Amino acid sequence: MKKIIYIQRIGDVDPGILIVLKKNLKRFFKKYNIKVVILPDQLPILDSEHDSEERKYDAIQVKKRLVTHGKNKNYYRILGVTNIDILTKASKFLYGVADLPKNKSFGGALISVIRLREEFYRLTENSAIFEQRVLKEAIHELGHTFGLKHCENLCVMRASNSLVDTDRKPPKFCEDCAYRIDIFIDNSE
């Protein structure tokens, strides 16, 4: 199986975000021989996944649909990118969600970029900060699909409960996580 991360937009997402993310992910995953491709199509946003009280979408349901889509297409990894606000029963909001993989040949991850923008908090737009946040959250969620759990080190696998956490962590794995993902990916040949 070809190692490709497919970027799948869910609903309307500015193509510019995806192009920058693709470039950054490509650079990051190059050493693992993993390619990155932006899918031309778009998965719809479903009303049935909308929580009208919270005015957000159910992250678990959206992710489930994404995972089913990725599995049906026989993808190696699928990264859903959306601009809708997402939540779970446990979290009022989140930047992303992913499962630990059931097997090495498939994994699905979802990120929501809406809360990564400075404008969301009525601050001045800053595309450099925004792009770094998108990259960190994407690597983090993809990291879960490669078997990585949360990490306490100065590491992209650190949990983010706020943007302060996201901004503090580097867009890379600590030594421990780098070691684990090396083993995980090598064994998947």
Catalytic residue among 137, 141, 152, 189: 141
**How far is Cα 101 from Cα 22, in angstroms, rounded to an integer?**
22
Minimum Å gap between C-beta 79 and Zn ion is: 14
Quick one: which of 174, 180, 181, 185 contacts Zn ion (CB under 5 A)?
174
Minimum Å gap between C-beta 97 and Zn ion is: 8
- Residue 155 contacts Zn ion per CB under 5 A: yes
Options 104-112, 118-126, 131-139, 151-159: segment touching Zn ion (CB under 5 A) = 151-159
Quick one: which of 39, 113, 177, 185 contacts Zn ion (CB under 5 A)?
177
Quick one: which of 153, 170, 171, 182 contacts Zn ion (CB under 5 A)?
153
**Residue 146 in contact with residue 185, Cβ under 8 Å?**
yes
**How far is Cα 6 from Cα 4, in angstroms, rounded to an integer?**
6
Minimum Å gap between C-beta 15 and Zn ion is: 26
Quick one: which of 151, 166, 169, 181 contacts Zn ion (CB under 5 A)?
151
- Residue 109 contacts Zn ion per CB under 5 A: no
Element (H, E) at 111: strand 107-112
Q: Give every CB contact of residue 146 below 8 A, 6+ residues apart in sequence.
A: 101, 107, 181, 184, 185
**How far is Cα 142 from Cα 144, in angstroms, rounded to an integer?**
5
10 Å CB burial of residue 25 (0-12, 13-18, 19+) is: buried
Quick one: which of 157, 166, 180, 185 contacts Zn ion (CB under 5 A)?
157
Minimum Å gap between C-beta 152 and Zn ion is: 8
Q: Would residue 141 show up in a list of annotated catalytic residues for this protein? A: yes
**How far is Cα 129 from Cα 136, in angstroms, rounded to an integer?**
11
**Residue 100 in contact with residue 147, Cβ under 8 Å?**
yes
Q: Give the active site residues.
A: 141
Q: Which residues bind Zn ion (CB under 5 A)?
A: 151, 153, 155, 157, 174, 177
